[in-house]
Structures are given as structure tokens and as C-alpha cells.
Structure 1
Amino acid sequence: MAHWLFKSEVSTWSWDQQVAKGDVGEEWDGVRNYQARNQMRAMKVGDLGFFYHSQKEKEIVGIVEVIAESHPDSTTDDERWDCVDIKAVRALPRPVTLAMCKEDPRLAGMVLVNNTRLSVQPVTDTEWAVVLELAGDET
């Protein structure tokens, strides 16, 4: 299983909205960056990702699961753009801020630390474990 990070502005799509969608989940649509699109094309059902509030909050707040693999983005007729569907799994016990990630030397190579603009990112197994530790997530 691979791990990912999905970034969203609270004013566009928040963790609370993701949770409200329940098990039906939601398309992670509107991505118009080739690198982020390619990350989604590599995702498999069952992969887990962090849900990150960008802009003002700049914090990882929850865990999502990929529930549908890459398919055409319903928000455009342009066939270049795909998306995946995700559902909320659980909130983290405490958010992990971008500042916390930047301060932890174990996360020095994390894409989030080095490319904060990319909206869909891979997360290594080690980075996943460190973020869960910082969040106080024992599961």
C-alpha cells in the first residue's frame, strides 16, 4: 500500500466536508497540475493519504482512503485531467503543522517540506509513521 498527501484550502473543501460525505466519499477533482495528476494515476484502491489544510492552517488533520482509482475528472471536458475518489477514515488526535514537519529532521526529505505547492504528493512509509507519531496516533 502506498501513502499520499492531499492538500485543500479550507474555503474550497474542508476536512469536515470530507467527513460529511461518509463512505460514498468524494472526487478529488479540480487538480490541474500534471505532476499531481500523475500521482493520482498511480494510486490504488485502499491506499491511504493525509488530508492537509493549506493556506492559513497549514496542517495535516486527518486520514483518507482511496476508494476509486484514477478516472476522468467530472469538472472538465478536457480529457487530460483525472481524479480519484477518497473517503475520510479518521481525524488525527492532534493536527501536525507544516512547521512541525519542517522542524523534524526525519521529515527533511518529505515533499511537503520541500514543495509546499504540489496539491497531491507521495509520502514514504517512514514519513507516514513519523507524522502519525507527531499526531499522537497510536493506531
Structure 2
Amino acid sequence: MKNNYWLIKEEPAKYSYNDLVNDKKTVWDGVGNNLALKHIRKILKGDDLLYYHTGKEKSIIGIAKVIRGSYSDPNKDDKKFAVFDIKPVKKLTRSVTLKEIKSNIFFNDFDLVRIPRLSVMPVTKEYWSEIIKLSNKKYDV
């Protein structure tokens, strides 16, 4: 079975990648945007995630894995709200910044560039591979 790739965003002061590492797993909840919820409903166990820190950092920090696919948020009466469970896989060797991604024409159609306020988005295999490649390179400003 082919797994899918996603990017999830979080304010590090609220829940950082290090918090996920310390907790070993978490329920990804609190998403209200309709397009993000539409994406969440497609998330399956085994899918891979890029963990993005918003705020001052604005960079992809680490990789996580979906350990339970999308399900209705048990803390909400409205069943339109969906959540999923994740665990950390590894912190990237080097964070990949939004500035770096925006400056690379390869990423022009990436939702991270096109729809900057979206908190959950699909990532193509090509974008995933390029981001992993970039995380292993020294970045010259």
C-alpha cells in the first residue's frame, strides 16, 4: 500500500516537534478550516508527515508518522471536525525554511507557498523528496 505525504503546521510555543518527541504520540486536533478538514479526512494510518513550525521559525522541523488515520473528533459534537494520531519519526538534520522553499521555483505550486494559512496540506512525492534532500544540505543565505 502506497502511503501519502502531508505537511502539518503548529506554533512551536503551543506544541513543538520536541513536545511530540517527549510525548511519543499525540492526537492532532484543533483544526477548523474547511479545506484543512477535507485533507484530514483523507489521512490514513501509515501516511508520512512533515512537521512545520509557524511563527518566527517558519520552517519544516521534522518527520512524523500517522499511527491512526482520520476519525471524528471525540471532543466535538459536530462530526465535521476530524482528528488523527501521530508519532515522531525524526528531526530533520537541518530545518528547511519557508524563505528557502519560496526562493526555489520548483516549489511554486506547493500549497505551502500558494495557500500560506492552510494548516494541513498534501505534499507530492517530488516535493517530499526535494525537502528531505534540502534538509541534508548546508544552506547558504
CA distance in 2, matches of 1:76, 1:54: 25
Aligned to 1:32, the other structure's residue is in SS state coil
Q: Which runs of 4+ in 1 moved over 2 A?
A: 74-78
How do 1:4-43 and structure 2 match up within 5 A? 4-22=6-24, 25-43=25-43
Matching residue of 1:73: 73
Residues 43-96 of structure 1 deviation map (CA, whole Å, 9 limit, x = unaligned): 111110100001111000000101101112244332210111111100000000
In the alignment, structure 2 segments of 5+ residues that lack a partner are none
Cα distance, 1:29 vs structure 2: 0.4
Matching residue of 2:123: 123
CA distance in 1, matches of 2:136, 2:43: 26
In the alignment, structure 1 segments of 5+ residues that lack a partner are none
1:62 touches 1:90 (CA, 8 Å); kept in 2? Answer: yes
Sequence identity of aligned pairs in percent?
37
Cα distance, 1:100 vs structure 2: 0.4
Root mean square deviation, CA, Å: 1.2
User: What TM-score results when the alignment is normalised by the length of structure 2?
Assistant: 0.92
1:30 touches 1:73 (CA, 8 Å); kept in 2? Answer: no
Residues 75-121 of structure 1 deviation map (CA, whole Å, 9 limit, x = unaligned): 43322101111111000000000000001111111110111100000
One-letter amino acid of the counterpart of residue 108, structure 1: N
Matching residue of 2:4: 2
Matching residue of 1:86: 86
How do 1:91-130 and structure 2 match up within 5 A? 91-130=91-130
CA distance in 2, matches of 1:45, 1:69: 4
Q: Which moved more, 1:89-98 or 1:30-39?
A: 30-39
One-letter amino acid of the counterpart of residue 59, structure 1: S
1:94 touches 1:135 (CA, 8 Å); kept in 2? Answer: yes
